Amino acid sequence: MNHLIAPSILAADFANLQRDIEMINNSDGDWIHVDIMDGMFVPNISFGFPVVSAVKKHAKKDLDVHLMIVDPDRYLKAFKDAGAASITVHYEACPNLHRTVQYIKELGCRASVAVNPHTPVLLLEDIVADLDMVLIMSVNPGFGGQKFIPNTYKKLADIKELAARKNPGLYIEVDGGVDGSNAAKLVEAGATVLVAGNSVFSALNPVQAIADLKSSGL
């Protein structure tokens, strides 16, 4: 499949969020990535339900909601109701991961599991067949603008091999430090969805930055 681009609005101008959502609507971006942080699972706080609902009102692309929170089961339905098309929970935050994944699917959302840089993807072997997507964190979660961790390429190759055996249609998403310098190599390693924040919103021409990421590796 051709890879997808999911611009992350964590790097958007919050005072002009509608403008930035409309920019994504009119770009080659495929999804809108929404990072939810609770100040506990990660040392930062970002959006709540009112912001997600407001984004949904203007978005013409699917909302790709990434929950970096403890006990995410408490809020899955609320994020679905706020407009999430896909919901990502962290392997590290879910002691009953299979049940969490099944609930996300029952809500009608794409079910996705994220793994932090220190978490081996082989730990997903018994759940990967039930997933719509795996998110490989290429930085430690919590803040934008971090330096890309090179071991990500190996992890992408590992999950690509696992998916080939157990779930060939799996989306493989990568998030953190994605830009024009590594996009093609990430796609080559196995990524099918690129999340990009700072490299899009700090660009002089964000629409062109998205188009460049979309054409990487083609």
Q: Which residues are catalytic?
A: 35, 175
Chain centre to alpha carbon of residue 194? 8
DSSP 148-186: P-TTHHHHHHHHHHHHHHH-TT-EEEEESS-STTTHHHH
Sign of CA dihedral 23, 25, 26, 31: positive
Cα–Cα distance measured from residue 83 to residue 132, given in angstroms and rounded to the nearest whole number: 18
Cα–Cα distance measured from residue 122 to residue 183, given in angstroms and rounded to the nearest whole number: 24
Q: Which residues of 11-33 are buried (b: 16+ CB within 10 A; e: fewer)?
A: bbeeeebeebbebbeebbbbbbb
Side-chain half-sphere CA neighbours of 70 within 13 A? 7
Chain centre to alpha carbon of residue 151? 18
